[in-house]
């Protein structure tokens, strides 16, 4: 039994009148009668008792009614599922992010998606630092990554969602710890605790460019796996580090101080990135929600 046959059978079974059933289905009565006869032939049993005065379900017809309804409901559910997927109302989006400094943005995005598209599922993956997150977007194992990059390949699209101040993190016992602003040249002899580098990694690249502009090459004592560990190592007086105001605001900083860098007014851009060729409607729904929640901070506000 095909879906259109089931729909025709249900209409006649509920109306018990071929004329009313045909009107309900917006078709002429003769084609409806032929459709029911074809169904009866394919099933090998009469479904209705017909006379000039009434139409009545047979035992076979009564037995078929529930299965026919289930078939139509399943067909309608399949159509809804496909439509919801194509319009981005349902689906799965795998989102990577670096860690504590991005947590608030990711949490807000998750709340916005849940409110606007409750049928969408976000799978969140932390510790996806810039180089690793970029690799996983390119190989398709992540759909969207939030992080910081100085360089992005042509296969990737992106949107800026925040700007962050670059800062120096020092042990609280450091001679320069009492200064709100530090000159990079004064840190030329320091050991540095850095974060993982790699393709386009913005913060390690910024350290190198600031150091070179101040006439030195940073002496790297240790590479920390994340910002939290970097702050812990600086607090243990293992060296100093280049960090961000978002780390200062989101990571416990006992034993350290964060200082601005004299003359450094170039913020780091926080971006979300995705594959340019990714046609997943759910992904593009999440991108739209994120851009509404986090408009490009480089754009002039309406009040200006």
Dump pLDDT digits (tens) for 121-148. 899 988 777 788 899 999 999 999 998 8
Supply the mean pLDDT for the chain. Answer: 89
d(CA 171, CA 179): 12
User: Could you read off the pLDDT of 165-219 as tens digits, one per residue?
Assistant: 999 999 999 999 999 899 999 999 999 999 887 666 788 899 999 999 999 999 9
pLDDT confidence band for 72 (50 / 70 / 90): confident
pLDDT band per the 50, 70, 90 thresholds, residue 38? very high
Exposure of 241 by Cβ count < 10 A (0-12 exposed, 13-18 middle, 19+ buried)? buried
Domain locations in the chain as residue ranges: 3-86, 91-162+268-293, 166-261
SS3 assignment, position 276:
coil
Give the C-alpha separation, 263 to 119, whole Å. 48
- Please give the CATH architecture assigned to the domain spanning 166-261: 3-Layer(aba) Sandwich (3.40)
Rounded alpha-carbon distances, angstroms, from residue 174 to 30, 87, 168, 186:
94, 56, 12, 12
Q: Cα–Cα distance between 13 and 20 in angstroms, integer?
A: 11
- Identify the architecture of domain 91-162+268-293 in CATH: 3-Layer(aba) Sandwich (3.40)
User: What integer pLDDT is reported at residue 196 of this predicted model?
Assistant: 83
Does the pLDDT value for residue 160 go beyond 60? yes
The C-alpha atoms of residue 105 and residue 52 are separated, in whole angstroms, by: 71
Does residue 303 surpass a pLDDT of 50?
Answer: no
**Identical topology for domains 91-162+268-293 and 166-261:** yes
Cα gap 197→225, rounded to integer Å: 10
CA atoms within 13 A on the CB side of 33: 9
CATH 1.10.3210.10 for domain 3-86, yes or no, is no
Please report the pLDDT score of residue 304 as a whole number. 38
Kindly state the helix (H) or strand (E) to which residue 126 belongs, with its residue range. none
């Amino acid at each position: 039994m095909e879906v259109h046959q089931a729909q025709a059978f249900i209409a006649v079974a509920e109306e018990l009148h071929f004329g009313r059933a045909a009107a309900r289905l917006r078709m002429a009565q003769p084609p409806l009668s032929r459709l029911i006869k074809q169904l009866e032939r394919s099933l090998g049993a009469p479904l209705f008792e017909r006379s000039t005065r009434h139409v009545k379900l047979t035992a076979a017809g009564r037995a078929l009614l529930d299965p026919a309804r289930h078939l139509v409901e399943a067909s309608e559910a399949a159509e809804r599922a496909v439509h919801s997927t194509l319009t981005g109302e349902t689906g799965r989006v795998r989102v990577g992010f670096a860690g504590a400094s991005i947590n608030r943005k990711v949490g807000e995005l998750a709340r916005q998606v849940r409110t606007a598209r409750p049928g969408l599922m976000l799978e969140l993956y932390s510790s996806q630092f810039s180089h690793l997150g970029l690799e996983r977007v390119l190989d398709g194992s992540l759909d969207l990554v939030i992080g910081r990059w100085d360089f992005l390949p042509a296969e990737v699209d992106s949107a800026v969602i925040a700007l962050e101040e670059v800062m120096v993190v020092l042990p609280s016992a450091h001679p320069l710890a009492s200064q709100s602003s530090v000159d990079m040249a004064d840190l030329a002899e320091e050991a540095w605790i850095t974060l993982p580098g790699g393709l386009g990694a913005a913060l390690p690249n910024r350290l190198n460019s600031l150091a070179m502009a101040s006439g030195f090459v940073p002496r790297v004592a240790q590479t920390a796996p994340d910002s939290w560990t970097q702050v812990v190592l600086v607090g243990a007086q293992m060296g100093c580090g280049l960090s961000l105001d978002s780390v200062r605001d989101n990571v416990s900083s006992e034993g350290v101080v964060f200082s601005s860098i004299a003359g450094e007014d170039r913020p780091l851009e926080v971006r979300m990135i995705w594959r340019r060729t990714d046609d997943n409607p759910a992904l593009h729904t999440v991108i739209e929600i994120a851009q509404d929640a986090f408009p490009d901070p480089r754009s002039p506000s309406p009040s200006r």
